[in-house]
Amino acid sequence: MERSANPALADLHDAGWGTEQRLLTSADPHSTGKLLVSGNQRVLSPVGTAQSTLFAVGPWTSGWGAGAFARPN
């Protein structure tokens, strides 16, 4: 997100409201480029606090279970 060309994602990161999902690898943490969300789709801050009124769904988030996006119609 910190290098995103998407203005919405960049603004979330710059304002400290959202952060990027990072995976631990054997070498170093790996950035996925996805917005980190909680199990109920709330955007998570860089310190892991869920934003009470900010939700995100879709393939560009770390959330699972948004199957509606995977099916036509």
Domain coordinates in residue numbering, the chain: 1-53
pLDDT, tens digit, 9 for 90 and up, residues 7-39: 888 888 889 999 999 888 888 888 888 899 998
Tokens representing 47?
Answer: 């310190």
Model pTM score: 0.77
For residues 28-53, give the mean pLDDT.
91
Instruction: Assign 50 a pLDDT band (cuts: 50, 70, 90).
Output: very high
Instruction: Assign 60 a pLDDT band (cuts: 50, 70, 90).
Output: confident
Sequence-distant (6+) residues with CB within 8 A of 29 are 22, 23
